[in-house]
Structure 1
């Protein structure tokens, strides 16, 4: 009888250990899936924000390349251009908030900011510090690299 009782208790103990291991494994898998889901969501947010910027460029090709002399020819165009830049910066800020440490995204943003360095150099929203700190650094770098002649 003692042997049967021992075997039963032993089997219950093994079952409890196995259940605990399975519960831990399930928790680890759930955490990994949650992290993957968050990562995928951040990537989707960044891609959507950039897609919105590309649509803006498509809708306003005269502003996309940041040609100062053409944009400043007409006061109404310059007003629209300032809104174009604000929307661009907002899209870039969303990308940075989603994937701020991604070098490829930073390089992409940096390349686009350079087209608009002449305006960013005198932008009141940039001077006030209205934008994300990482975006502000990219703006400052673009202005420094592209705008030695800017006022």
Structure 2
């Protein structure tokens, strides 16, 4: 089945999913946020076919989410680093993680927890707030056309 492109959609969610909506891409970004940077590290962590990994890395690089840089040892090898655009996906992954902690592990049995590096305490759940500080939910927001 041919995938429909949403690159020209009016919806920023649709455009974002067009760019990074497959699970492999988000898992590569997750691993890059955890410090992985070499092809072999990604392949070992994810256990995915090399051709699929190569295609996803090319796509993420073309989108400006990853960049390739020479490795520090002076060899001809290159490694993948997140760009600022890629690092900003951190918030998306934290939101997915927190949703998964709540709904994908019955009874709160997630084997890992996201903690603050300073005090080692679990991070609070992400929240959306109005300009005046009120906590917002789906019923409190709407999408309006700007043009």
Could you tell me the TM-score, scaled by structure 2's length? Answer: 0.29
Structure ranking higher in helix proportion: 1
Structure of greater relative contact order (alpha carbons < 8 Å, 6+ residues apart): 1
Structure ranking higher in strand proportion: 2
Compare CA radii of gyration and give the structure with the larger one. 1
Could you tell me the TM-score, scaled by structure 1's length? Answer: 0.28
